[in-house]
Amino acid sequence: MTLRPPDGPEGSPDDLDPPPSAEERLAAEALARSLELGSPHPDRPLVEALQAAYRPAPIDPARHEELLVQALAEARPPGRLLAFPQRRWALLGAVAAAACLLLVGRSMRRPVPVALAASRSTQSLFQEQFPRQGGHSQRIDRIALARSRELRENRFAGWGVR
C-alpha cells in the first residue's frame, strides 16, 4: 500500500508520488469495503492501529468491564501476603504458639540458684563498741557502703558475671 502526506490534494505540485495505478485503486476499494463491513483484510489491523493512535474510538463498555475485572483479579492488595484461608490458618498457628509458650514456657521456667548476698544483721560490720554519744552517721555510712557493694555483686551474679 502506498501512503501519501495527509495535507495537499492529489495531483498537486507538492504531491511527489505518481498517480495510483488501477491495481492500487482496486486494493484501496477492497480495504474500504472491509472496513465498512467489518470483514477480514490483511491490512485492517494496521489501519485500526493508525486510527486508534490518531483519533481513538470510545471503548466498548462491555470490553471495558471485562478488562477491569481481569486486572483487579490479578492485582494483590498492598500488605496482604496471604489469601483469606491462609490468613486464617496463620492466625490459628499464632494462637497455638502463644498458648504453647504460655503453658509449656511457664512449666520450663526454673529459678536459677545463685549465691546472692543475703539481707542480714549488720552486727558483723562493727567490731568495736558504739561510742556512748554520736557515731550514728558513721555507722549508717558503713552499713550503706557495705550493702551497696553487695547489691552490685548480686546484680552481676544475676547477669551471670562473677
Partner 1 sequence: MGGQMRHLWGWALGLLLVGCEVAKPGENELACTCEAGARPVDPALLSFLSKARAAHHQADLAEAQGDRGRAVAALEAVVRGPAPLRRQESDEVLADTRARLAGLRAAQGQFDAAMQDIERGLELAREVSYFRGHLFEVQAVVEEQRAASLAASPEAAAQARARAIRAAEQAIEIQDQVLREALKREPK
Residues engaged in binding partner 1 (CB under 8 A): 87, 91, 94-95, 97-102, 104-106, 108-123, 126-127, 129-130, 132-133, 136-137, 139-141, 143-144, 147-148, 150-151, 154, 157-159
Comparing CB distances to partner 1, the nearer of 5 and 160 is: 160
- CA torsion through residues 37, 40, 46, 49, sign: positive
Q: Grid coordinates in use for 118?
A: 543475703
Task: Kindly state the smallest distance separating residue 69's Cβ from partner 1, in Å.
Answer: 22
Please say whether the beta carbons of 8 and 15 come within 8 A. Answer: yes
Comparing CB distances to partner 1, the nearer of 45 and 93 is: 93
Please say whether the beta carbons of 88 and 130 come within 8 A. Answer: no
- Which residue, 108, 107, 116, 109, is CA-closest to 160? 116
- Measured from the Cβ of residue 128, the count of other Cβ atoms closer than 10 Å reads 6
Comparing CB distances to partner 1, the nearer of 120 and 162 is: 120
Comparing CB distances to partner 1, the nearer of 75 and 118 is: 118
Task: Kindly state the smallest distance separating residue 103's Cβ from partner 1, in Å.
Answer: 9
Task: Kindly state the smallest distance separating residue 161's Cβ from partner 1, in Å.
Answer: 12
481513538: which residue's cell? 56
Comparing CB distances to partner 1, the nearer of 62 and 102 is: 102
Q: Grid coordinates in use for 151?
A: 547489691
- CB neighbour list of residue 57: distance below 8 Å, 6 or more residues apart: 51
Task: Kindly state the smallest distance separating residue 108's Cβ from partner 1, in Å.
Answer: 7
Task: Kindly state the smallest distance separating residue 3's Cβ from partner 1, in Å.
Answer: 57
Please say whether the beta carbons of 117 and 153 come within 8 A. Answer: yes
